[in-house]
A and B are shown apart, each in its own frame.
Chain A
Amino acid sequence: MKQTAGPVLTAWKALLTVMYGLPILWIVLTSFKSSGDVFSTSSALIFSPTTEAYRDVLTADLLKPLSQSVLIATGTTVLVLLIAIPAAYGLARTRGHLTSIGLALLIVLQMMPQTATVIPLFQVFGSWTLLDSTVGVILADTALLAPFATLLLRPFFRSVPPELEEAGSIDGASLMRTFVSIVVPVARNGIFTVGTLVFLLAWGEFLYAVNFFLSPGEYPLSVLLAQQVSAFGINWPGLMALAVVTSIPILIVFTSTYRLLRDGLTVGAVK
């Protein structure tokens, strides 16, 4: 049966399209404006585009923040997966008190306000000399995202039929080998989904980075953006050009994993 949408639903759909399309459109349009055109009503939509803002933003100075972002996001993704994949498998295949306690802890840690954890981590990292280092930020981001990743991965491991593993163990393969060569490949969709999400979240993280890096030269893109937008006298075209630059990797990751995200996101979050 073909569903025909009523006028109310069509209007609502149009409103949603504007609500989510407009901010994106505005970021891109503004990044091509000159400072003079930004707030002028007559040139809201029709203006002569200029790449001035991009020329100001895309300088050699941007290489360091960009490489910091890449380093932090990939480092965090790898480390989170190294920890969360075995943990999610362990929690999927065991039961008893330890498993229940583990799950309860993960739920609590996943919900911790980051503004609360940044306070003691600053002190702890200070005494472990992890402040002002990229490794410190990666470790903090991993602690932030590993609980969420483990909980999201667990259902994917539960859906791997145990018979597959039993077949492996009859062949005499060790627990570890069965896990690496049988279980992990079967659960790869879940691992890709979770890995993508961790990458996206680590790319946007800025609270740990802004506080743990003591020298602004080490800041990743997200922190540059956060700092410029809270400054007085914002240069909007420059800021929006920086926002576009920060979002391009997200767009690439998003377009290549959209289907996985759309279908995989709802698995662990609710069910």
Chain B
Amino acid sequence: MTAPLTATRAPVTPRARSGRQRQVRLVFLLPAAVFMGLFSIYPLIQLVRMSVSAVTVGTLNQEWVFTGLDNFSRSFSGEGAPALTRTLVFVVVVTGLGMLLGLAAAITLRTRGRWSGFLLALMVFVWALPPVVNGSVWKFLLADSGLFNTVLLASGLRDSPVPFLYDQHWALMSVAFVNAFAVIPFNALVFRAALMNIPPETFEAAALDGASRWQEIRHIMLPSVRSSTLVLLVLTIVYGFRSFDFIYVMTYGGPGTATNTLPFLGYMQAFVRYDFGLGAATSVAAVLGVLVLAAVYARSIRREESES
């Protein structure tokens, strides 16, 4: 493992001066510390202050009236609670598809050859495209007279177009699917890197023992990706949780509030309804969710370090 994110105990070195010299290098953190303090930490403090104040677009740059937890109770007695449920469903679908299909893709991309090489490059390219581009084309493909509905109607499977993006239940699932589509290439790349580490002799030995392909997957490939799975799982959950670009482009939170996940709801409350206090409260709740995930992430990285 190349990057332990926790400070590991150093072996005692005969060079006593190196310890001191090492700490001098904290100076290199200074530009980042100043910049992040100004443009990340200070805004976050403002976000928390806003969440306990009455702030509208008109009073944004005036004194804010302290209102305690009023914004929070307004948010969660209203749209906040259903948005939280929706976020959970959304994250489960994105994570489930993203992990399973990412691993399945990695298994086919493991083999060398022109097709695998081409497919991998294609997938990484699609991953690298701006989300607005991917979102646009999927909105087009899923439209009433888009490709999917054209095929479904022509094949006689449906006699009316599927309302992929404007039915309450379909819309959330469609956007979750496109989010998974966008994260699968990255997950496949990470899983593939783990699979490439398996020595070829292992497969040769398995072949000699007459192992079936399924047994190869189950007994050789799955164990070898296990250490990357937990970390990647947290990353995929975070990705699904904070996702907003496909929602913005494909449904803009609609129909009604059907695709308002918690982070997106906070944005809408602030920038569409101009209730910055309410939007800040919803966003603080989303940030708390992220803090929990970050703690799990840091712990799983530490565990991976100690296992290897």
Does A155 count as interface, using CB distance less than 8 angstroms?
yes
Which B residues, 39 to 83, have Cβ-Cβ distances below 8 Å to chain A? 39-40, 42-44, 46-47, 50, 55, 60-61
Contact A94:B23 (CB < 8 A) given known A109-B40, A117-B44: yes
| Bound complex: CA A126 to CA B276 (Å) | 14
Report the interface size class on chain B: 35 or more
Q: Across the interface, which residues of B come within 8 angstroms of A111, CB to CB? A: 238, 242, 290, 293-294, 297
Give per-residue flags for A117-142: 1 if the beta carbon is below 8 A from chain B beta carbons, else 0.
Answer: 11111111011000000000001101
Does A215 count as interface, using CB distance less than 8 angstroms?
no
Which chain A residue shows the least CB distance to B285? A116
Chain A facing B: main interface SS: helix
Does A271 count as interface, using CB distance less than 8 angstroms?
yes
Does A98 count as interface, using CB distance less than 8 angstroms?
yes
B145/A39 in contact, CB under 8 A: yes
Which A residues, 41 to 91, have Cβ-Cβ distances below 8 Å to chain B? 41, 44, 82-84, 86-87, 89-91
Does B252 count as interface, using CB distance less than 8 angstroms?
yes
Chain B facing A: main interface SS: helix
Query: How many residues of chain A have a CB within 8 Å of chain B?
Result: 106
Cross-chain contact of A83 among B31, B147, B181, B280 (Cβ < 8 A): B31
Does B134 count as interface, using CB distance less than 8 angstroms?
yes
A250/B130 in contact, CB under 8 A: yes
Cross-chain contact of A204 among B22, B105, B126, B132 (Cβ < 8 A): B132
Measured CB to CB, the closest approach of chain B to A184, in angstroms, equals 12
Does B220 count as interface, using CB distance less than 8 angstroms?
no
Question: Which one of B25, B128, B190, B245 has the highest number of Cβ atoms from chain A below 10 Å of its Cβ?
Answer: B128
B35/A143 in contact, CB under 8 A: yes
Does B168 count as interface, using CB distance less than 8 angstroms?
no
Which A residues, 195 to 234, have Cβ-Cβ distances below 8 Å to chain B? 200, 203-204, 206-207, 211, 222, 225-226, 229-230
Cross-chain contact of B32 among A41, A83, A261, A265 (Cβ < 8 A): A83
Give per-residue flags for B262-287: 1 if the beta carbon is below 8 A from chain A beta carbons, else 0.
Answer: 01101100110000100110011011
| Bound complex: CA A247 to CA B2 (Å) | 33
Does B131 count as interface, using CB distance less than 8 angstroms?
yes
Q: Across the interface, which residues of A come within 8 angstroms of B231, CB to CB? A: 270
Cross-chain contact of A13 among B115, B138, B146 (Cβ < 8 A): B115
Q: Across the interface, which residues of B come within 8 angstroms of A22, CB to CB? A: 141, 147
Which chain A residue shows the least CB distance to B291? A108
Cross-chain contact of B39 among A143, A155, A203 (Cβ < 8 A): A143
A112/B186 in contact, CB under 8 A: no
A140/B39 in contact, CB under 8 A: yes
Cross-chain contact of A126 among B24, B60, B294 (Cβ < 8 A): B60
Q: Across the interface, which residues of B come within 8 angstroms of A250, CB to CB? A: 125, 128-130
Measured CB to CB, the closest approach of chain A to B33, in angstroms, equals 8
| Bound complex: CA A98 to CA B23 (Å) | 10
Contact A116:B47 (CB < 8 A) given known A143-B40, A270-B228: yes
| Bound complex: CA A68 to CA B141 (Å) | 29
| Bound complex: CA A172 to CA B23 (Å) | 19
| Bound complex: CA A124 to CA B124 (Å) | 36
Q: Across the interface, which residues of B come within 8 angstroms of A23, CB to CB? A: 126, 134, 137-138, 141
Contact A9:B108 (CB < 8 A) given known A23-B138, A206-B245: yes
A-B contact pairs, 29 of them (CB 8 A): A1-B203, A20-B119, A20-B122, A24-B125, A27-B137, A41-B154, A84-B32, A90-B28, A93-B22, A94-B22, A95-B7, A96-B7, A99-B7, A107-B298, A108-B291, A109-B36, A111-B294, A113-B266, A114-B242, A115-B244, A115-B267, A120-B43, A200-B128, A211-B271, A222-B132, A229-B136, A230-B252, A262-B120, A267-B3
Interface contacts beyond A44-B147, A271-B3: sample of 10 additional A-B pairs, CB < 8 Å, sorted by A: A22-B141, A26-B147, A113-B266, A114-B242, A123-B46, A147-B36, A159-B2, A206-B245, A239-B136, A246-B132
The 5 closest A-B pairs by CB, nearest first: A204-B130, A90-B28, A155-B3, A87-B32, A116-B283
Q: Could you tell me which A residues sit within 8 Å of B by CB distance?
A: 1, 3, 5-6, 8-9, 12-13, 16-17, 19-24, 26-27, 30, 39, 41, 44, 82-84, 86-87, 89-91, 93-96, 98-100, 102-105, 107-109, 111-124, 126-127, 139-140, 142-143, 146-147, 150-151, 154-155, 158-159, 169, 175, 179, 200, 203-204, 206-207, 211, 222, 225-226, 229-230, 236, 239-240, 243, 246-247, 250-251, 253-254, 258, 261-262, 265-271
